[in-house]
Chain A
């Protein structure tokens, strides 16, 4: 099946570029830091680590992956294959989410965070949102420098409110901001229905838009500006 082929090849690609190794290494460091911290801080620290690393790194790694692919002209090959943009997206987002999920599970268990049935779906949600944002940015740019420039506002807009939210500094009207909902879930809190709705809506919009971006990237492989 095509989706399975794409998914497996993405995982192979990530393994070859050392993503798994890097994450294993980072996980060990995070755990070491968690245990060096006072016990009362551990849960909050774990939430920040899970949010920032496996979840948010989707943004960076998606950018890096797509840029690498562009430099090797593989989008040209995919543009003239039966692969659909949706399948391409699903495989990329899915394979990165697998890593996030594994690291998040280890960190949550190590930190003794309860409510894994909320933390893990929260991780999947954040990972998907960030990697879709990464895909959108990556399809629009050509160099790593440009990409980093793009990610700064995205990171700021997602990260700062979420961390403040974790420490309870959020105006009431801003509670349902999707990054805050993600952080709620990652720290094991049950999100409100309105929050879930907002996050789902944002994810759906990102999905549709990033699919459009992928199609546009494939079209631009021919050199057409239209």
Chain B
């Protein structure tokens, strides 16, 4: 569905996005993760043909984004970081308008509105909507024409846990229908739950790309942490794969002396911190003060 090779782009004359290579298969949910200002939205804007002065190649749905025509958009649904609704029109009027722009017959609004819990506010002006209501409305706007590719930029921001659950379910339903989804989010749990693969973007470059599961595994095995009483509470931990050789743990189990025991896996959150942290450090060591950092270490 998407093939990106040697993609570079800059808003100014300083290089920004550089040397990106990746591809996204049809039916995949592909996540963009990374710190604020890393270039996630910029990359999405390139892939939806809004920024066309890039170098390299970005093919979406068989079309080079640089030379897309307006027809390209019949099959693309975009949910921006901000609301793009006519504020004085009601939600229903907005949906009616946006759906009239496509050749395809629109999906029934009522169903979509009901799904995201806006059926009671459909005739309210968008200006009177709360932040989360606007997010939900903009999200269903992207689904209206049933596009094969969805570009969602932080769709769950500003939503309560229930609203965000509903939206995640709807995203998974689109995937089940075979739609391809690009998803930017700062919520690592959402990313781990939804995405088939994620790309970590730092400073305009992809510095890790894999399934959340492999990323988590690659970071190291799960560990077991246990506590017991011995001159107050003591605690220790060992890797899950080696508990049989932890003599102390075995003794504690044999004597029924454990206070608590639990296993923990590294989370995508920790991986985020590690990857982005490492990347920043790498940049300093690479560009500025290699000797200094080595000496300190």
Which A residues fall within an 8 A CB radius of B? 2, 4-6, 9, 12-13, 16-17, 69, 72-74, 76-84, 219, 221-226
Contacts and interface: CB of A to CB of B under 8 A. Distances in A.
B100 interface: yes
A72 B50 contact: no
8 contacts: A5-B97, A9-B97, A9-B100, A72-B85, A76-B82, A77-B78, A79-B50, A222-B50
A4 B96 CA distance: 12
B84 A77 contact: yes
A226 B83 contact: no
B100 A223 contact: no
Contacts of B70: 81-84
B88 to A, nearest CB: 5
B50 A74 contact: no
Interface string B178-191: 00000000000000
A221 B49 CA distance: 11
Interface of B: 11, 42, 45, 48-53, 70-71, 73-74, 76, 78, 80, 82-89, 93, 97-98, 100-103, 141
B53 A82 contact: no
Contacts of A73: 80, 82-84
Contact of B100 (A5, A69, A80): A5
A80 B93 contact: no
Contact of B74 (A5, A6, A76, A82): A82
Given A73-B80, A80-B76, 18 more contacts: A2-B100, A6-B101, A9-B86, A9-B93, A16-B88, A72-B83, A72-B86, A73-B82, A73-B84, A74-B84, A76-B82, A77-B85, A77-B98, A79-B50, A82-B73, A82-B102, A82-B103, A84-B70
Contacts of A84: 70
Contacts of B71: 82
B80 A13 contact: no
Contacts of B84: 72-74, 76-77
A12 B90 CA distance: 11
Contacts of A78: 101
A72 B100 CA distance: 19
A5 B71 CA distance: 17
Nearest to A73: B84
A82 B141 CA distance: 14
Contacts of B87: 72
B80 A223 contact: no
Contacts of B49: 80
B50 A5 contact: no
B73 A13 contact: no
Nearest to B82: A73
A74 B88 CA distance: 12
A69 B84 CA distance: 9
A81 B53 contact: no
Count chain A CB atoms within 10 A of each CB in B42, B71, B86 and give the residue with the most: B86
Given A224-B52, A224-B53, A2 B101 contact: yes
Contacts of A9: 86, 89, 93, 97, 100
Contacts of A223: 11, 42, 45, 51
Contacts of B78: 77, 80
B101 A16 contact: no
A226 to B, nearest CB: 4
A13 B100 contact: no
B51 A222 contact: yes
B102 A81 contact: yes
Contacts of B48: 80
Contact of A221 (B50, B93, B103): B50
A81 B101 CA distance: 7
